[in-house]
Amino acid sequence: MPRTMLTHDVLLAEQLDRKANELKVINAEQLAARLKEHIVGQDKVIDQIARQLGQRDASKRTDEPIAVFCFVGPPGVGKTELAKAITDAVYKDRNHLLFYSFAEMAKLPQAATTLIGSPKNYVGGEGKLTSDLRRIPNAVVLLDDIEKAHAAVIELILSGWDDGFLTDQQTGHKVPTNGAIFILTSNANSREIGELVEAHTGTFDELNRKVKDLLSVGESALAPELLSRIETVFAFRNIRGIDIARVVALRIERRAKSYGLAVADGGSRKEILIDAVQRLQKTSTKSGVRDITLKLEGSVDDGLIDAKAGGATKVRFEVEDGKVKVVPVTEDRTSVVSAAAPAAS
């Protein structure tokens, strides 16, 4: 036992050293640009996040997580989507997103054993978080609906940040947290926060203070010890109007790609898609970004399948009677004709 612990401590020390070098690669401007390609309408949040990640160079402490971010605000505005985009941009691999939802893990102290294993002499296995992080130390750890987590869980997460490692209760393994970016999300007081962000005209720091105040009151308030440990809270704004059409464009483009179809230049213009968005907003009771994008995204499936079956490699999207239509794009006729000309003569 002491021997394995020793080996593990050496490994831990090596990992701490290695991190110092790896972190230099984050270029704030490039990162922000990449993230903005995938996330619509949250530019201020993205700029701050990229700046904070960029500052994490070798001179920073290496015995704590790369960063701890807290994303708050209304549902369906890109919080989880941004966590995914950060994973892709920083770690280049979606498997490096480790996801734990506290809405699913009931508000029980046992949630702690789910995350870091059952105590040594109890039935049960290694913890999910500790085993995941042991396998993938360079990860985005997404802790969803953090306001629903039990106090015991908050305590263990805080200790994982302060000590720079988590100890699995079952195996005794010390798992470093210093290669990870922790992202907490919360819908606590999200309507008020959404309104506040929209009305706010002052500085980012002032907004941060006001959002923290909102997060500390009411039934779904965040634990005070957690709030005091989080430097910046990133408040997401509501996605409206043309921005919804931009999200729709991103989603249907992704859908087309999943069928092996390219989207022609200008083939998913938000100015066109906005018609379909507005029609849905008028006719449906569910008019949040999530509902609208899901509905429109789902409605292009048949068209994409037909286009694929018809041998198309490219498509463009049009809107007719408020519905999104898939139009296969065939090769430019003139080039086909001129290419065929020599053979005919």
Ligand X SMILES: Nc1ncnc2c1ncn2[C@@H]1O[C@H](COP(=O)(O)OP(=O)(O)OP(=O)(O)O)[C@@H](O)[C@H]1O
| Residue ranges in contact with ligand X by CB under 6 A | 39-42, 75-81, 187, 239, 247, 250-251, 289-290, 293
Amino acid, single-letter form, for residue 33:
A
Task: State the residue number with the nearest CB to Mg ion.
Answer: 80
Q: Is 299 an interacting residue with respect to Mg ion (CB under 5 A)? A: no
Q: Which does 81 bind (CB under 5 to 8 A by kind): Mg ion, ligand X, none?
A: ligand X
Q: Which does 62 bind (CB under 5 to 8 A by kind): Mg ion, ligand X, none?
A: none
Closer to Mg ion by Cβ: residue 54 or 75: 75
**Structural tokens at position 198:** 């929209």
Pairing of strands 181-186, 140-144: parallel
Residue from the set 80, 159, 278, 299 that interacts with Mg ion by CB under 5 A: 80
Give least dist CB 230 to ligand X, A: 17
Give least dist CB 238 to Mg ion, A: 15
Give least dist CB 224 to ligand X, A: 22
How far is the C-alpha of 296 from the C-alpha of 82, rounded, in Å?
Answer: 21
Give least dist CB 183 to ligand X, A: 10
Distances (CA, A) of 245 to 32, 57, 151, 270, 297: 21, 37, 40, 5, 11
Long-range (24+ apart) CB contacts under 8 A made by 21-27 are: 21/58, 22/138, 22/179, 23/56, 23/57, 23/58, 23/60, 23/66, 24/57, 24/58, 26/53, 26/54, 26/56, 26/57, 26/90, 27/54
Give first-to-last CA distance, the chain, whole Å: 84
Q: Which does 157 bind (CB under 5 to 8 A by kind): ligand X, Mg ion, none?
A: none
How far is the C-alpha of 286 from the C-alpha of 316, rounded, in Å?
Answer: 27
Closer to ligand X by Cβ: residue 235 or 247: 247
Q: Which does 187 bind (CB under 5 to 8 A by kind): ligand X, Mg ion, none?
A: ligand X
Give least dist CB 341 to Mg ion, A: 56
Give least dist CB 232 to ligand X, A: 17
Closer to Mg ion by Cβ: residue 80 or 110: 80
Q: Which stretch binds Mg ion (CB under 5 A): 15-23, 72-80, 119-127, 207-215?
A: 72-80
Yes or no: say if 11 and 175 are a contact pair by the CB < 8 Å rule: no
